[in-house]
Structure 1
């Protein structure tokens, strides 16, 4: 008779646990999934207006679809490289339909208690008490229990969050938009104080700044009164490296190619094999090496943006911290985000006090606490003695449970398993943890004679519990102490006898190793037995990664996005105009050009916008405002200004420039031109000719043809400067404009 398994949580961890039990050990387990929510997905919302989870439904995943997936379910071909949170929720719904139909699904049902049963003094099952939303209480008995209720159990809030304040104080997971944040308090302006300098702090500061920028610069009414009177003040404790969503596998090239950051990060060709754990205790030497790698990837120690976020030489002695955001750094440079170092000590009225400096931050309009999450609520249904065995303490900054074999079980409670209790739960790790439990329990447990030899050997040498507990008090513990993703995948694969399959075809060769890319994705580790459907999904997923890598390295894919991202803010503009006709004077323009970020608008692309707004996301755009003085060669000087709207289309992977309406210069009118990037000839991308990324465009305006040439000069991921030249010829025009933009 199949063993009954209770899985607490129907997010990605719970779903992959159910699938592994049902498919990797067929006819062995009877699975029931419980979730207190009325939908599956856990953190991940099910649609773009779903506000029931801890994630903003339109938040971009900070890993690409090649990493945010399980091994045997590929994303649809037309899905974006970086899915939104609600699209991840839809992926999980497809996964449920494909693999978990045999599981019993009890949504809207909270697990209240799980008590171990005892037979002759031995633990031999669990009595699980549940309560539905309607108040129906039930008890069921199970042989095994899996905790998949999440590392991010609930927001971790400091004591001041619970006080009575005259301004809004919320956790970052609650933020959705400016209107809901400020509510009845909106209008007078001030600083939106974001507290917390790791992943969520950087991400939410950048998001709020983006919303403020859009509120100020979009046409039509603003969602809040006086948005121009607000700014973001970000309070951090130490400098953090902020990486954009696309990085370059050749950061020193004059025309660097771009890929989603995880495809470069998980290129195993840049690692020494067999892999060793790069996380945990970080030595002084390891810290300096990693800081150096981040600085090379960014092309800067971040001082080009602001002294407040500079990673100084003294900082490189400490373990590095990493965050991901496309627009945070340039908002800091523009001044919309200001940064201070310290801790929030107290809040009185609209004044925040910092420690240890004693500095005051005045005119605070709202506080957003990016103070992380605590996991204790996720195991609150377990008896106190078992909680003590697992030794999870709310005071533990690492928020870890003392578990064996990389966060999967505890030897003293062998019929209790964990999936997804792993900080930064990359989907490959969740899948491996689920496979581990399926194999362990199908074999009879950690001491069973039928346990596969490789797994028995791995368990006998495992030191996960000791390492986890030791890191809790280690001042040199890494940002993600539970283990290096690639190393963990290697360790799980070796223990389970899972082979990493090769890429289906040749991959691009890259420096510094001059080896073919060897990109780690979950699909590289398929199950040992696959159905025809699973084989097709694995093949599709591997092909998608291969195609993306080649497109990024050789075909200029993602360059338009990298350019668009790096335009944000203000540029110094010097432009020469040389005219061959006396009716158009020659001269020189000196001024500024501002790229002001806002939500994508409908003007000029109505049908496309409506489709994207329904099925995806219309994206972001810039209002471009150029102002300065034109000094003509005939001695006349006059003030000059012009406006455009710049857009990026993910579908086309193109930047486009639009004229603005004459009667409303905040609105786009019609297309000026699309920018086509020129793929460098073989070898030139590595800097032989010293040129950056060239691009061309053309536009016929009545009888006049505009021949447009761009040159974008990067330093690693950031635009250093760029040029824009027009040659205009027609019956009444014959001139050339050559402009240079610099920070």
Structure 2
């Protein structure tokens, strides 16, 4: 008779647990039932662009690439973006369910209300969305209900606020936050300075920028009067979604940020855990690494975000955003250091400074989640055994062998119940629990020797409890992905597949640890996944892929522009232009590319674009001076990794008219193994025939690590009535 298993949660953790129980052991070993309170699978991840009922905005871009946000035996489609959006991750999970979990009994819209343990198994009480109560009996209980139980709300907030207050997980757009009609206040206050705080502040600023700079009617009135005010308790390193393995170069290559983070070539073997307790020496090394990676201590953006020498002895904190830092530089986001002490009416008080923020229109709380409610269905004895803590949002439960079990409860397992739930680790956790249960339990004589040894050495419970009072605890106590994968691989006796041909990169992905029992179809998926990672790495390291995206991201904000014009015709005077160029971010528009939008269909992603506004004074060599302005639309197409520049319409200068030119980058010759190579920046070129005039366009982009330091744009124009050259230099204001 198969052992019956109750899985609570149908998100990534629950689905990979079901797959492991059904496919990693002989058929018929387990009979699996999955309960989820939601009406769909996917957990946090919606599978539709308009599904706004969950805890994640369906259009949110993942901060890990598709090479990490996947399981070992199901690849992403080749045309998927490197960094998928939330709804696309939900679609991936739909495919995973259909491929591997069809033999599980799936009970959606059914909440597990209570459980009761016995020597022989578990009694489970459920309630359906239409109010039907049922009692079930299972041999085994697996908790995959997630770390995001309910939003953590500060106690300092008023019971009946005068202004809207929402948790960051519920923010969707400006209209939903502020309403259509104008209301009092002009500042959107974001509270919370870690991952979600930086992300949501950047998102709201992007929405505000788009509302102001897009053609047509704004979704809110007086959108140009709003700004974002962000309260942080300490500075964090803010990294963009694409980083460079060669930050010393003026023409650095780029890869998705996790490819560098999960490069085992940068670590000594065998790996040792780098997370948990962070010593002062380790903190200084990490701060130094981040500063080299970003090319800045962040003081050039804001003194509130600067990582000073006094900060470098503390454990570092990271956040991810493509837009946050440059919106801070531009002033659309203003940063205050401290803690929200109180909110009265439209006024917030920050401690310990006592500073006031007035004229607040709305508050967005990026204060995280408390996970204890996710397992409130466990009996009190079980909650006591796992040392459940509702006050410690990071180390909520104390579980054995990296979050998988507790030694006092033999028939209870956990998958994905920790922060930083990288999918490879979830899959390993599921395999570990499956292997123990398939062997008959932790004390069974048939338990594999490698697992016995791993359990004998394990100190996860003591370590977790110790970190609760450790002032030097890391941001993510279980955040060393490479080490965790090594630990599980050793315990499970899984051999890591050799790396592909990716130069000096040894990128760890879930596909590097395939299941021993993988079918031919699964093996084919694993091979395809490894090939996708290899192809992406090669394209980034040797072919200039993602440079256009890095340039596009780094253009955001204001630049000082000095341009020299030399004309060979007396009808067009030579002279010098001095002024500014602003790249104003907004949601992608249809203008000029209607056919492309139609091909995208309802699931298409218009991406982002810039309204380019140039203003200044042109002083001709003949002494004449006049005010000059130009407008263009700059676009990045993720599908073909191309930047393009479009003319703006003369009668509506927020709208694109027709294509000016597409920018083609030239790949420099450099040695990735050399320490420094600053001979040149990224060169790019283009050409465009405008009626009778030909524009020969040349660019040169100089990076300082991941950010543009300065760049040049020059072109020669020849035609029946034009013969001139332009050379412009852009430097940061």
Match of 1:708 in 2: 697
Is the partner of 2:32 in helix, strand or coil? strand
In 2, are the aligned partners of 1:198 and 1:240 still within 8 Å (CA)?
yes
Cα displacement (A) at 1:384: 1.1
Match of 1:295 in 2: 291
Which of 456, 463, 475 is matched with 2:459 structurally?
A: 463
Match of 1:17 in 2: 17
CA distance in 2, matches of 1:473, 1:9: 30
Scaled by the length of structure 2, the TM-score of the pair is 0.98
Q: Residue 417 in 1 paired to residue 405 in 2? A: no
In 2, are the aligned partners of 1:161 and 1:169 still within 8 Å (CA)?
no
Is the partner of 2:403 in helix, strand or coil? coil
Which of 316, 320, 323 is matched with 1:320 structurally?
A: 316
In 2, are the aligned partners of 1:699 and 1:707 still within 8 Å (CA)?
yes
Match of 1:513 in 2: none
Which of 557, 562, 567 is matched with 2:545 structurally?
A: 557
Match of 1:695 in 2: 684
CA distance in 2, matches of 1:340, 1:689: 36
CA distance in 1, matches of 2:131, 2:9: 19
Which of 122, 128, 132 is matched with 2:128 structurally?
A: 132
CA distance in 1, matches of 2:496, 2:267: 16
CA distance in 2, matches of 1:599, 1:67: 27
TM-align CA RMSD: 1.2
Q: Residue 40 in 1 paired to residue 35 in 2? A: no
Q: Residue 506 in 1 paired to residue 494 in 2? A: no
In 2, are the aligned partners of 1:242 and 1:322 still within 8 Å (CA)?
yes
Is the partner of 2:420 in helix, strand or coil? coil
Cα displacement (A) at 1:610: 3.1
Is the partner of 2:121 in helix, strand or coil? strand
Cα displacement (A) at 1:397: 3.8
Match of 1:8 in 2: 8
Match of 2:346 in 1: 350
**1:354-373 deviation per Cα after TM superposition (whole angstroms, max 9, x unaligned):** 11111111111111000001
In 2, are the aligned partners of 1:213 and 1:597 still within 8 Å (CA)?
yes
CA distance in 2, matches of 1:507, 1:98: 30
In 2, are the aligned partners of 1:244 and 1:324 still within 8 Å (CA)?
yes
CA distance in 2, matches of 1:617, 1:184: 25
**1:115-143 deviation per Cα after TM superposition (whole angstroms, max 9, x unaligned):** 012xxxxx220000111111111111000
In 1, are the aligned partners of 2:697 and 2:714 still within 8 Å (CA)?
yes
CA distance in 2, matches of 1:689, 1:89: 43
Cα displacement (A) at 1:615: 2.2
Q: Residue 150 in 1 paired to residue 138 in 2? A: no
Cα displacement (A) at 1:553: 0.4
In 1, are the aligned partners of 2:395 and 2:465 still within 8 Å (CA)?
no
In 1, are the aligned partners of 2:158 and 2:343 still within 8 Å (CA)?
no
Cα displacement (A) at 1:614: 1.7
CA distance in 1, matches of 2:181, 2:470: 43
In 1, are the aligned partners of 2:246 and 2:672 still within 8 Å (CA)?
no
Match of 1:663 in 2: 651
Map of 1:190-339 to 2, 5 A cutoff?
Answer: 190-339=186-335
Is the partner of 1:315 in helix, strand or coil? coil
**1:206-243 deviation per Cα after TM superposition (whole angstroms, max 9, x unaligned):** 00000000000000000000001100000000000000
Cα displacement (A) at 1:186: 3.8
Is the partner of 1:159 in helix, strand or coil? coil
Which consecutive residues of structure 1, in runs of 5 or more, have no partner in the other structure? 118-122, 509-515
Cα displacement (A) at 1:483: 4.3
Match of 1:120 in 2: none
CA distance in 2, matches of 1:315, 1:74: 41
Match of 1:28 in 2: 29
CA distance in 2, matches of 1:453, 1:191: 60
Cα displacement (A) at 1:730: 1.0
CA distance in 2, matches of 1:24, 1:156: 37
Scaled by the length of structure 1, the TM-score of the pair is 0.97
CA distance in 2, matches of 1:645, 1:245: 23
Is the partner of 1:405 in helix, strand or coil? helix
In 2, are the aligned partners of 1:576 and 1:737 still within 8 Å (CA)?
yes
Which consecutive residues of structure 2, in runs of 5 or more, have no partner in the other structure? none
Which of 583, 587, 590 is matched with 2:575 structurally?
A: 587
In 2, are the aligned partners of 1:187 and 1:224 still within 8 Å (CA)?
no
Match of 1:653 in 2: 641
CA distance in 1, matches of 2:16, 2:442: 21
Cα displacement (A) at 1:529: 1.6
CA distance in 2, matches of 1:264, 1:699: 37
Match of 2:595 in 1: 607
In 2, are the aligned partners of 1:189 and 1:229 still within 8 Å (CA)?
no
Is the partner of 2:400 in helix, strand or coil? coil
CA distance in 2, matches of 1:685, 1:662: 50
Q: Residue 722 in 1 paired to residue 717 in 2? A: no
In 1, are the aligned partners of 2:3 and 2:29 still within 8 Å (CA)?
yes
CA distance in 2, matches of 1:486, 1:398: 20
Q: Residue 491 in 1 paired to residue 487 in 2? A: yes
In 2, are the aligned partners of 1:186 and 1:225 still within 8 Å (CA)?
yes
CA distance in 2, matches of 1:261, 1:61: 11
- CA gap of 1:160–1:465, structure 2 versus 1, over 3 A, is same
Which of 652, 660, 665 is matched with 1:672 structurally?
A: 660
CA distance in 2, matches of 1:678, 1:724: 15
Which of 607, 610, 619 is matched with 1:619 structurally?
A: 607
In 1, are the aligned partners of 2:24 and 2:518 still within 8 Å (CA)?
no
CA distance in 2, matches of 1:393, 1:451: 31
CA distance in 1, matches of 2:670, 2:60: 37
Is the partner of 1:317 in helix, strand or coil? coil
Cα displacement (A) at 1:394: 1.5
CA distance in 2, matches of 1:711, 1:612: 32
Is the partner of 1:538 in helix, strand or coil? helix
**1:628-653 deviation per Cα after TM superposition (whole angstroms, max 9, x unaligned):** 00000000000000000000000110
CA distance in 1, matches of 2:363, 2:548: 35
- CA gap of 1:685–1:417, structure 2 versus 1, over 3 A, is closer
Cα displacement (A) at 1:400: 2.2
Match of 1:631 in 2: 619
Match of 1:177 in 2: 173
Cα displacement (A) at 1:307: 1.1
CA distance in 2, matches of 1:208, 1:589: 34
Is the partner of 1:590 in helix, strand or coil? strand
Cα displacement (A) at 1:160: 3.9
Match of 1:66 in 2: 67
Cα displacement (A) at 1:676: 0.2
Cα displacement (A) at 1:482: 2.4
CA distance in 2, matches of 1:706, 1:372: 52
Match of 2:531 in 1: 543
Cα displacement (A) at 1:388: 1.2
In 2, are the aligned partners of 1:468 and 1:482 still within 8 Å (CA)?
no
In 2, are the aligned partners of 1:189 and 1:227 still within 8 Å (CA)?
no
**1:652-692 deviation per Cα after TM superposition (whole angstroms, max 9, x unaligned):** 10000000111100100000000000011354996556110
Which of 426, 433, 436 is matched with 1:437 structurally?
A: 433
In 2, are the aligned partners of 1:566 and 1:719 still within 8 Å (CA)?
yes
Match of 1:376 in 2: 372
In 1, are the aligned partners of 2:181 and 2:220 still within 8 Å (CA)?
no
Match of 1:732 in 2: 721
Greater CA drift, 686-695 or 293-302: 686-695
CA distance in 1, matches of 2:438, 2:412: 14
- CA gap of 1:688–1:355, structure 2 versus 1, over 3 A, is closer
Match of 1:366 in 2: 362
- CA gap of 1:613–1:399, structure 2 versus 1, over 3 A, is farther
Is the partner of 1:292 in helix, strand or coil? helix
Number of aligned positions between the proteins: 730
- CA gap of 1:682–1:361, structure 2 versus 1, over 3 A, is closer
